[in-house]
């Protein structure tokens, strides 16, 4: 959906595709500029570099929902990807993002999509 974000009050992008991520959740507060970030959903799912989590990537799930990548892999993925690309996660039990949470038409069965999607009377 989006690669990086604009600098506040500017039309220029932050360096290295960075996005400001923050949480005020008790016991889990942070305010970070996270490089090589690709927004996957409206609700805040990203694939991004996570240098602080390197020992866990590919071993155990320690993210709060985003896809953590090693810095080199995140940079490659950021450079390679285009807005609108489909991202598929293997071995996750077939859970899909809701069709309303981003560019998710591919989450719909072909017959549902052809009939106008999930919005009643949209045809």
Catalytic residue annotation: 48, 66
Q: Which residues contact 102 (CB under 8 A, 6 or more apart)?
A: 1, 39, 40, 41, 42, 43, 45
Instruction: Tell me the C-alpha distance between 31 and 73, whole Å.
Output: 23
Q: Enumerate residues 6+ apart whose C-beta is below 8 A from 75.
A: 16, 35, 36, 49
Task: Say how far residue 26 (Cα) sits from the centre of its chain.
Answer: 24
Which of 29, 11, 12, 10 lies closest to 21 in space, CA to CA? Answer: 29
CA-to-CA separations, 68 to 31, 47, 61, 75, in angstroms, rounded: 16, 6, 9, 12
């Amino acid at each position: 959906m989006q690669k990086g974000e604009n600098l506040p009050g500017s039309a220029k992008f932050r360096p290295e595709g960075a996005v400001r991520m923050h949480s005020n959740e008790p016991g889990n507060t942070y305010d970070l500029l996270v490089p090589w970030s690709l927004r996957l959903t409206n609700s805040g799912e990203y694939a991004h570099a996570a240098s602080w989590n390197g020992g866990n990537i590919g071993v155990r799930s320690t993210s709060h929902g985003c896809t953590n990548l090693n810095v080199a892999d995140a940079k490659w993925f950021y450079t390679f990807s285009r807005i609108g690309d489909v991202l598929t996660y293997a071995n996750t039990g077939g859970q899909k993002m809701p069709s309303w949470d981003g560019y998710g038409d591919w989450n719909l069965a072909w017959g549902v999509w052809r009939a106008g999607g999930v919005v009643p009377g949209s045809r």
